[in-house]
Amino acid sequence: MLFGASTFIWASPFSTQNIDLFHKVKNMGYDILEIAVEDSALIDWKVMKDVARDLDIKITISGAFGMERDISSVEPHYRKLGREYIEECIKIAADMGSPIFGGPLYSAVGKIRLVSDEQKKQERAWCVDTLAEVSQIAADSGVVLGLEPLNRFETDMVNTVEQAISMVEEVGHPHLKIVLDTFHSNIEEKDIPASIRKIGKNRLCHVQGNESDRGTPGTGHLEWEGIRDALRDIGYDGAVVIETFGQPSKELARAACIWRPLANSADELASEGLAFYKQLFR
């Protein structure tokens, strides 16, 4: 099992100025720095790749999906921008050696409304068509796309593992799989270990192991031993990454509903979270 920390813990948006995070996570004992791509123009990717190589830190790439990056939007221009963003992040992931590009690929975070069944059907159709196309682009690039269910307060499209499986199966491409975030699962799943077993090894490409309140893993009420056992049962041997928000931008704070500090400091959350991971999994 490899353990990682998201740049979201310390910075939003992440930029070249935050390059010291590579040294920080290396010194803490992490295997992976997960880079959240809010604005790719702020990041010198060659410098990132060189530093990661020199420090022997792996990189994974995650997405940030605002209203203008929504492949299910009723606005054609936003659907176009959403697809272009996914394609850009696939290229970044391939160039940086990330095996996955994950996130709520299907919609904008914070898009919650009650709409007609007809509109839902149309939005899903736009989404599925685009996901099928970009999944082939990902395959050609040697990258797996990870579709992440979000809780009901952040999206109205894919909340549960069952809904994620349904969308992945409808797209029907082997390079579209599922990212599991235990924070969202804690809200939406009746039995998180059972939901992990339902996804199975062949569909689960990445795990964001977050606490029930997005604070330090091990300090909330998640059933961590059951989660660990379920991951072992399906033979999952990928990454487990902490993704929480220490210094969120105004847009991110609003989308993820982060209004207060989740730990005494970002460094404390990351270091104590890693210690918990190592005790739990090893």
Domains in the chain and their CATH numbers?
Answer: 2-281 (3.20.20.150)
pLDDT at 258: 79
The whole-model pTM stands at: 0.96
Q: Which residues pair with 144 in a beta bridge?
A: 100
pLDDT at 254: 74
Contacts of 64 (CB under 8 A, 6+ apart): 13, 36, 37, 38, 103, 109, 252
Query: Which positions are annotated as active-site residues?
Result: 148, 243
Largest separation between any pair of C-alpha atoms in the chain: 53
pLDDT at 77: 98
pLDDT at 247: 74
Q: Which residues pair with 177 in a beta bridge?
A: 146
pLDDT at 251: 72
pLDDT at 18: 98
Give just the sign of the alpha carbon dihedral 113, 114, 117, 119: negative
pLDDT at 255: 75
- Separation of first and last alpha carbons in the chain: 9
Mean pLDDT by 10 residues, the chain (282 residues): 97 97 98 98 98 98 97 98 98 98 97 95 98 98 98 97 98 98 98 98 98 97 98 97 84 76 92 98 90
Q: What element of type H or E holds 270? A: helix 266-281
- Alpha helices, DSSP H only, in 142-223? 161-171, 182-188, 192-199
Q: What is the pLDDT of residues 226-274, one digit of tens each?
A: 999 999 999 999 999 999 988 777 777 777 777 788 889 999 999 999 9
Nearest to 176 by CA among 158, 152, 195: 158
pLDDT at 78: 98
